[in-house]
């Protein structure tokens, strides 16, 4: 089995490559190559058997240059300090690409969270929240859900934080239940934001998204919403896949019926169409491929088989650097993850704004504001790529890093 790539080294290499292109000073490169703050905690909790277990908790805060730090919490046995540091850096760039006033953060617990009982999950999460309380806050660091966490965990953390500070403060965290200060439209935000990017791309290039053929790898939350919204815009979703198999239908898949089938059965197999091995979906000749599953789905080994004319990354890191370089050489546009899947953090920002104002928006208002931000960010990245003759990932990084650097130069004199 090949060794897992070092995510933090990759994140640093990506940053330094663009930093050199931007001719940044050694001081700025040193400052942004590491998180501004890294917290490692011992997190005790009582198991159902009555004994006390101690788990390691982490929170990396990469940047406060443009505002409070923002990023998710993942509870998984494979969480590492370097992974959390990398993810916090990527969150800084993602927030800056769509120009929302946050820096990046990430956190996690090194634990087999799925193996815990519901009561153990709550005791552990609340204990972690008490450790986090001194270093998070609505003007400091605003966590959110990630791997194995959801609105329930966010509600527990918000409640523990309120107990510590002595008053309710829903803006301390996003991804909460709507009844507890969460935002309407948050569940669909990642897939919807991607669809808005794709819509704008085709408006800018061929005139319309109508009639384009789409394959979606990974039919979870982001993949389902991306497929549903693109289909509603007039695109023709011809293939979907999950971890078991893929289904292809040249005439088009009824996305609503496909989602209903997946929710009911847990698999895409059985959706009307031709069954394919899951990896074959990536090789279909379509206008748009949406990798919405795992990282490293397209590598140097399979990239030459990809025939899609546009790739929009719903997942984080679905392309390896080798695949990225191949697409750039062959003129295939990739809308990178820091732009394409930034709808989630954008609506998290909307949730924070609503919490601060104690004034809540309709779902239509949320979606309208999201569309405006995603379309504007797509235009900016497209212009940057054309002006500097670079691929879209490099353009997005140049835009994001440039914004963070300007904030540092104006506030801290770098």
Strand partners, 264: none
CB 323 within 8 A of CB 300: yes
> Is 4 considered catalytic here?
no
Q: What whole-number distance in Å separates Cα of residue 10 and Cα of residue 17?
A: 11
The residue from 106, 121, 176, 262 that is catalytic is 106
DSSP string of 192-238, one letter each residue: HHHHHHHHHHHHHHTS--TT-EEEEE--SHHHHHHHHHHHHTT-EEE
Which tokens belong to 389? 């003759």
Which tokens belong to 103? 């820096």
Mark 30-66 as b/e (b = at least 16 C-beta within 10 Å): ebbeebbbebebebebeeeeeeebebebbbbbbbbbb
Residues in the chain: 414
Q: What whole-number distance in Å separates Cα of residue 95 and Cα of residue 105?
A: 11
Q: Are strands 236-241 and 246-248 parallel, antiparallel or unpaired?
A: antiparallel
Q: What whole-number distance in Å separates Cα of residue 55 and Cα of residue 45?
A: 8
Q: Are strands 37-46 and 288-291 parallel, antiparallel or unpaired?
A: unpaired
Sheet order of strands, 103-109 included: 37-46, 52-61, 103-109, 69-75, 141-145
Q: What whole-number distance in Å separates Cα of residue 218 and Cα of residue 294?
A: 8
Which tokens belong to 269? 């197999």
Given the structure tokens 């009307």, which residue do they identify? 272
What sign does the dihedral 217-219-225-227 (CA atoms) show?
positive
Q: Catalytic residue positions?
A: 106
């Amino acid at each position: 089995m090949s060794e897992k790539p070092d995510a933090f080294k990759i994140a640093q290499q990506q940053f330094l490559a663009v930093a050199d292109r931007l001719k940044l000073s050694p001081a700025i490169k040193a400052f942004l190559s590491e998180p501004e703050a890294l917290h490692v905690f011992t997190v005790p909790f009582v198991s159902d058997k009555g004994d006390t277990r101690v788990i390691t908790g982490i929170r990396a805060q990469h940047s406060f240059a443009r505002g409070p730090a923002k990023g998710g919490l993942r509870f998984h046995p494979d969480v590492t300090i370097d992974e959390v540091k990398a993810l916090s850096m990527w969150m800084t760039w993602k927030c800056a690409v769509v120009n929302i006033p946050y820096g990046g953060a990430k956190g996690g617990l090194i634990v087999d969270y799925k193996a815990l009982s519901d009561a153990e999950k709550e005791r552990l999460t609340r204990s972690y929240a008490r450790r986090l309380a001194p270093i998070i806050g609505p003007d400091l660091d605003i966590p959110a859900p990630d791997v194995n966490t959801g609105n329930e965990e966010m509600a527990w953390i918000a409640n523990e934080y309120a107990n510590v500070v002595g008053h309710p403060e829903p803006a301390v965290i996003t991804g909460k239940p709507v009844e507890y200060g969460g935002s309407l439209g948050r569940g669909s935000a990642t897939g919807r934001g991607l669809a808005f990017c794709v819509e704008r791309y085709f408006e800018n290039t061929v005139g319309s998204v109508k009639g384009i053929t789409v394959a979606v790898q990974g039919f979870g939350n982001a993949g389902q919403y991306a497929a549903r919204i693109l289909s509603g815009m007039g695109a023709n979703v011809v293939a979907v896949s999950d971890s078991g198999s893929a289904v292809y239908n040249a005439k088009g898949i009824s996305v609503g019926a496909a989602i209903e089938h997946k929710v009911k059965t847990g698999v895409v197999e059985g959706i009307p169409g031709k069954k394919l091995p899951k990896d074959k979906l990536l090789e279909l000749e379509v206008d748009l491929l949406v990798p919405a599953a795992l990282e490293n789905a397209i590598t140097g080994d399979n990239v030459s088989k990809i025939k899609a004319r546009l790739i929009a990354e719903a997942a984080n890191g679905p392309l390896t650097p080798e695949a990225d370089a191949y697409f750039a050489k062959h003129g295939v546009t990739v809308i990178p993850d820091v732009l394409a899947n930034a709808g989630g953090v954008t609506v998290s920002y909307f949730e924070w704004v609503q919490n601060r104002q104690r004034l809540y928006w309709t779902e239509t208002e949320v979606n309208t504001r999201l569309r405006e931000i995603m379309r504007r960010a797509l235009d900016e990245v497209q212009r940057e790529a054309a002006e500097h003759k670079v691929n879209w990932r490099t353009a997005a990084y140049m835009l994001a890093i440039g914004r963070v650097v300007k904030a540092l130069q104006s506030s801290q004199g770098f």
